[in-house]
Amino acid sequence: VNLVLMGFHRPVIGHAILGGTVHRVFTTAPADVAIFVDRSSRSTGSEQPTAVKKILVPYLGGTHDRLALELADRMARHTDARVTVLHVVAPKRRDETATLGAKTQVEKSFAEPGKQAPVQFKVVEHYSPVTAVLDEAQDADLIVIGVSEEWGLESQLLGWRPQRIADESPSSLLIVRKYGQAPQPSPAVQTVAPTPAQVAPVHNA
C-alpha cells in the first residue's frame, strides 16, 4: 500500500483529532497517510458533500508539505479544482532566495506530463502561519496540509499544544504524513543496553 486514507467521523471536532487510532496509524503505518476531515455540512447545512473547486495547500517546504503538493496535484488533474499554494513568510524578513526555491519546488511538483493542473503560488507576510492559513481557508473548499511542526499539527500529535488549523478551519481538511517522516522518540530518552564488547573492563587498584 502506498497511501492509507482515513476518514475522521467524530461529530464534534476536539483536540483528539490526531490522537487515538489516528495517532497509531500516523506513527506506525509503513505508507503515506492522509486523514480526511469533512466540514462540507458545516458550511452548507446539507449532509451531501460539496464539489471541491478550490484547494488550498499551505507550504513551508517540509517533506510532508511536498506530499500535500503531490496529492493536491493528483486531485486537480482529475477534477476542475484550482490549487492555491500558500507560502507564509515573516513580515519584512522575506528571503527571496528561499521564496524562489519554494516556488521552484511547487512548479516542479505541478509540471509532470499529462494534464496541467491550474495552480497559483501565493506569498503572504504574516507573524503567524496558522492565522494566515485560517484567513485563506475562508475561500477554500479543501485544505491539504502536512503534519509539519511549523503548522502546529505535528506538535499536537505529540501532545504539545493545540492544533488551531484542525479545530478552527471552516473548510474540509486532508492532513497528510509522508512515510518515513513520522515523529520519532528523542535520542535522549532512548536507552540501549551495551553489549559485552562495549563494557570496559574494571581493574582494581
- The reported pLDDT for the residue numbered 198 is 44
Q: How confident is the model at residue 18 (pLDDT cuts 50, 70, 90)?
A: low
For the cut 80, the answer to whether the pLDDT of residue 91 exceeds it is yes
Q: How confident is the model at residue 190 (pLDDT cuts 50, 70, 90)?
A: very low
- The reported pLDDT for the residue numbered 165 is 83
For the cut 80, the answer to whether the pLDDT of residue 67 exceeds it is yes
The string of pLDDT tens digits covering residues 42-53 is 554 555 556 889
Q: How confident is the model at residue 107 (pLDDT cuts 50, 70, 90)?
A: confident
The string of pLDDT tens digits covering residues 128-173 is 888 889 999 999 999 999 987 777 777 766 554 546 787 788 889 9
Whole-number Å distance between alpha carbons of 6 and 25: 9
- Residue 189, CA distances (Å) to 5, 136, 156, 184 in order: 31, 39, 19, 11
What amino acid is encoded at 48 in this protein?
Q
- The reported pLDDT for the residue numbered 191 is 35
What amino acid is encoded at 76 in this protein?
A
| Interior/surface letters 137-151, b for 16+ CB within 10 angstroms, e for the rest | beebbbbbbbbbebb
The two beta strands, 32-37 and 54-59, are unpaired
152: left (phi over 0), alpha (psi -120 to 50) or beta: left
- The reported pLDDT for the residue numbered 181 is 59
Q: Across residues 169-196, what is the average pLDDT?
A: 62
